[in-house]
């Protein structure tokens, strides 16, 4: 693994705004015949607005209701339940940014009628997956978390990685996390908060929480190790809102950084997700030439600059990742 000893002037991906983050660094074809990904993305969004004109509602891969026919749900597939799809779409529409919703908000978010939305929401409430607060707004119940945690708990990845996360936290005192890539987002499999006082800038995230790809070390590691065609498709669709002070907002700059991450074997979040927080992540291979997950350690930016972060933790994380891979291969 290449890490220490690198000239800091050759680290454009970790530069402050205006020093390599303007998208000018590096020239390479992003699409076929050098097409720019931003232009491709704009063109595809325009084409998608037309819909299929059939009027049928589908549940897409991200759990949203859409008029676009999913390739995984053929129109003549009698096994597909539209009612179940609507119910799952309602559950998936809640997020950390939108923890409660009224019927009107749900209906608007999912492009469903209010009467249909009310019927499905009431059913989910009766089944214990939704509840209403005093303002008659719906929210998810712990039963939803039980389902997600049961799935995560049954994964061999979680079982194999847990001892290594515990050891990382014990040895370093900082927050250790494991994540996978799910529908273009980083999904935490486990996050063990450190004991060294990171709490004032910690995001208080738990298992199954989701984070953006472009501004997290875990996301960049996972994206960089995708097959080329999958990576290109993800870059076409991805949005790049700025979160932290050093966030990447150019697809060209992101692609350049992902190429470097793939070459060196680790990624760094240099206050890109949140001000005051740095992290480093390494890939966790599945033993069959695919990267299954990312292993991450988060530290206060006030205590570690980027070079110190890499020198201190890159090899230790790589050792832990190799141990997890070995456990998975048994």
Residue 217: per-residue pLDDT: 98
Domain with CATH 1.10.10.10 in the chain: 58-140
CB of 136 closer than 8 Å to CB of 102: yes
Half-sphere exposure of 54 (CA within 13 A, CB side): 10
How many CA atoms within 13 Å lie on the side-chain side of 15?
A: 19
Question: Per mean pLDDT, which range of 7-11, 171-175, 219-223, 245-249 is the poorest?
Answer: 7-11
Contact between 209 and 192 (Cβ < 8 Å): no
Confidence of residue 134 (pLDDT cuts 50, 70, 90): confident
pLDDT for the residue 215: 96
Contacts 24+ apart (CB under 8 A), 159-165: 160/324, 160/327, 160/328, 161/189, 161/190, 161/284, 161/293, 161/295, 161/324, 161/327, 162/190, 164/295, 164/320, 164/323, 164/324, 165/190, 165/192, 165/295, 165/320
According to the model, what pLDDT value does residue 71 have? 39
Confidence label for 286 from pLDDT (cuts 50, 70 and 90): confident
- Position 114 confidence tier, pLDDT thresholds 50, 70, 90: very high
For the chain, where do the domains classified as CATH 3.30.450.40 start and end?
A: 8-34+149-329
Cα–Cα distances (Å) from 108 to 59, 90, 91, 116, in that order, read 15, 11, 14, 12
Q: Sign (positive/negative) of CA torsion 143, 144, 147, 149?
A: negative
What's the chain's average pLDDT? 79
CB-CB contact of 75 with 69 (8 Å): yes
Tally of CB atoms within 10 A around 239 = 10
CATH 3.30.450.40 is held by the domain 8-34+149-329:
yes
Architecture of domain 58-140: Orthogonal Bundle (1.10)
Q: Give me the residue label for tokens 């291969």.
A: 329
Residues 308 and 77: their CA atoms lie apart, in Å, by 55
Position 309 scores a pLDDT of: 97
Q: Please report how the helices 217-224 and 251-264 are oriented relative to each other, as an axis angle in degrees rounded to 10.
A: 80
Above 60 in pLDDT, residue 144? yes
């Amino acid at each position: 693994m290449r890490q220490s000893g690198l000239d800091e002037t050759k680290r454009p991906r970790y530069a402050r705004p205006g020093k390599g983050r303007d998208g000018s660094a590096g020239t390479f074809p992003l699409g076929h015949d050098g097409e720019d990904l931003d232009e491709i993305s704009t063109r595809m969004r325009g084409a998608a607005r037309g819909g299929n004109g059939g009027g049928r509602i589908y549940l897409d891969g991200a759990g949203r209701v859409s008029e676009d026919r999913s390739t995984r749900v053929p129109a003549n597939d009698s096994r597909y339940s539209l009612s179940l799809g609507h119910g799952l779409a309602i559950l998936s529409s809640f997020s950390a940014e939108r923890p409660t919703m009224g019927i009107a908000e749900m209906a608007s978010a999912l492009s469903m009628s209010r009467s249909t939305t009310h019927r499905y929401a009431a059913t989910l409430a009766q089944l214990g997956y939704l509840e209403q607060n005093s303002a008659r707004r719906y929210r998810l119940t712990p039963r939803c978390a039980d389902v997600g945690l049961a799935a995560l708990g049954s994964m061999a990845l979680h079982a194999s990685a847990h001892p290594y996360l515990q050891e990382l936290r014990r040895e370093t005192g900082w927050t250790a996390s494991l994540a996978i890539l799910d529908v273009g987002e980083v999904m935490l499999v486990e996050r063990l908060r450190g004991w060294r006082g990171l709490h004032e800038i910690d995001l208080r995230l738990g298992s199954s929480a989701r984070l953006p790809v472009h501004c997290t070390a875990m996301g960049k590691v996972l994206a960089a190790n995708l097959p080329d065609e999958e990576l290109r498709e993800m870059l076409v669709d991805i949005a790049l809102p700025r979160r932290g002070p050093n966030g990447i907002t150019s697809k060209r700059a992101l692609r350049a950084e992902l190429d470097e991450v793939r070459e060196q074997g680790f990624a760094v979040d240099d206050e890109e997700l949140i001000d005051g927080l740095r992290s480093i992540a390494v890939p966790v291979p599945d033993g069959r030439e695919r990267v299954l997950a990312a292993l991450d350690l988060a530290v206060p930016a006030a205590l570690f600059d980027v070079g110190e972060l890499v020198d201190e933790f890159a090899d230790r994380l790589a050792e832990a990742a190799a141990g997890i891979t070995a456990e998975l291969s048994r």
